[in-house]
Every structure is written in structure tokens, then in C-alpha cells.
Amino acid sequence: MTVCLQPDVIFVRAEVLSAHLSAINPSESPTLMSQKIYLAGKLVSKEQAVVSVYDHGLLYGDGIFEGIRVYSKKVFRMKDHIDRLYESALAIRLTIPLTPAEMTRALEETVAANNIVDGYVRLVVTRGAGSLGLDIRRTSNPQVIIIADSISLYPEELYEKGMEIITASTIRNHPGAVSPRIKSLNYLNNILAKIEGTDADCQEALMLNHLGHVAECTGDNIFIVKNGVLKTPPTDAGILEGITRNVVLELAAAEGIPVQETTLIRHDIYVADECFLTGSAAEVIPVNKLDGRVIGGGSPGPITKQLRARFQKYVREA
């Protein structure tokens, strides 16, 4: 992150390019050099996308975001994501400077400007610039930032064979402190648990809630299958109500698979027949081990495969 000083204004440059990349010939890397970011009501180059270092999104993680998939140039579950964004804003008393309809148009324009066919959108709203203090009354000009790019969260082999996860000692935020249903810019709780996972050479980590019940993973919701019944923690377990989670629940019901939103403990996952995770970036990915214990047969089970295939079909049809 580079700090750039300009007359009367201090900015943080939102690019992470190394200095030597500045010499790249644009014709050799057209995607890199032509990426457009939506910021402050207009599309600007990646190099021009800057926000104030006094923005409370930077200083305190005071803001919200959505991670959204694009399939065949269509934004997936647009309304669901926009609705959740505005619900998060309402919960933290953040006034978004665009109406939902304007936000939808801005998102679509950003996807089109970057020629995204199959990709990912990060939609961010910050509290805006203020003073070095917590008082939101001293902030102004909330920033809407839309980034459209490609994404590959996990290696393809993990989707075929399953991934191993561990249980993090870092628990999910207490719902009486910061509600996990708010998709805020303050992801330190998840990051600390993610560090535990990567330290154990795992791509993901399971998080429990303050009661010791299964909540979710650092960036994904979790499902198990036991005796043909699909189970997942309820929203009051301290989880983000995932868009992909809800789609999978709908698809399972349509496929005639019994579904339960119920309290789970680690034992339920250890003895499950199948386990998988869901998320906008991850989509549907099987889990074959938790804390070194093999789940089911140690490879993706039939219901996991069925729902993953159904999901892949659905996103192309929706």
C-alpha cells in the first residue's frame, strides 16, 4: 500500500502493484492496465482509485461489503446481495449515498466496463472520512467502491477430492457484541481463525460460537449429511446468512433432500456421512477431514456431488 500526498488532501492508493510493474507495456497486459473501479460515482482506473487515509473504513473497519459472483455476464442473486448490503448498513447506522436501484446500475456498469464473463465483484461501502475518533457524527462522504475481477479461491483438486479443515480456538464473535449477520469490513475475527487454519496447512478453519456449538468457517457456511438428511447451523448460531447457503437449501428442497437447520457440535461433523462448505467465492466445496478425523468415506459423498452439480447448473440458468 503506497501513501500518496497531494495538495491539501492525503490519500491511500488502492493498488498493490510492485514498483517494477509500472514499466509493463499496456499492450502486454491489457486486463491489468485497463481495469476500471467504481468510486465516488464514476469509473476510474485502478491506479486512480484512492480514498482518504481518514476514512473510517480504513481507520476502524467501519463499513460493509458484499462478495458477489458473476456467471455468463450476469450478476448472481443481485437483489439478495443488495438487500443484505442495505440491511447491514441499517444495522450499523450507515447511510449509503445511492438508492438500491442506483447501486444495482453501478454494479452492472462496473461488470460491463471490465468485460467480466465469469468473475467476482467486491462491493464496499465505507463510513467516509472523519476525525481520529470514533464519533460517526464527525464523518462525511461515505465511499461506494465496486471492484470487478476474476477469482479462484481454492485449487480445483480440492473440489474433486475434498479439503481438510481444523477447528480454530478463535470463536465467532458473540452476537451480543457484533452480530455475525452484519457483513462488516472488520473481519479480524475471521482472519485470526484463518491464521490458525493456514498454520495447520489447511485452507479453512471451523469456528464455534460462544456456546461451543458449530457456527461457520472463516469465509464459508458449513453443511453435513447424516442418514440422508442435510443439516446446517441456524442463523441464531452466530452465522452470516449466506446467499449461497440459501440457494443450496432451496436446491436441496427442490431435489427432495430432507433439510434441517439445527444446532450442531463438532461430534456431529466427526460422525457425519458427508460435509461441505458454501460461499459466494467457494461455491460448493466438499470437506473430507476435520481435526484429522476422516469424514464419511474420506471423499465427496453422493449428496454433496448432487448438490454441487445442481448448483453449477443453476447458476447458468438463473
Q: Give the count of beta carbons closer than 10 Å to the beta carbon of residue 274.
A: 25
Return d(Cα 257, Cα 271) in angstroms, integer: 19
H or E stretch at 299: none
Number of H helices, E strands in the chain: 9, 18
Q: What is the DSSP string of 95-131?
A: --SS-HHHHHHHHHHHHHHTT-SSEEEEEEEE--B--
> What pLDDT, in 10s, does the model give residues 297-315?
999 999 999 999 999 999 9
> What pLDDT, in 10s, does the model give residues 22-65?
333 333 333 444 899 999 999 999 999 999 999 999 999 999 99
Closest CA to 272 of 220, 227, 212: 227
Predicted TM-score of the model (pTM): 0.87
Domains of the chain, by residue range, sit at 2-18+25-149, 156-317
> What pLDDT, in 10s, does the model give residues 119-169?
999 999 999 999 999 999 999 999 999 999 998 889 999 999 999 999 999
CATH of domain 156-317: 3.20.10.10
Spot the catalytic one: 36, 46, 183, 194: 183
Mapped onto helix, strand or coil, the DSSP state of residue 69 is strand
Helices (H), the chain: 30-34, 56-60, 78-91, 100-113, 156-161, 188-199, 243-254, 266-270, 302-317
For the beta sheet containing 63-71, the strands, ordered from the edge strand earlier in sequence to the opposite edge, are: 42-45, 36-39, 144-149, 119-126, 63-71, 74-75
Closest CA to 240 of 282, 275, 272: 282
Cell output for 214: 458449530
Residue 183 a catalytic site member: yes
Q: Give the pLDDT band (50/70/90) at residue 107.
A: very high
Closest CA to 149 of 28, 55, 16: 16
The CATH class, in words, for 2-18+25-149 is alpha beta
Return the bridge partners of 38, or none: 43, 146
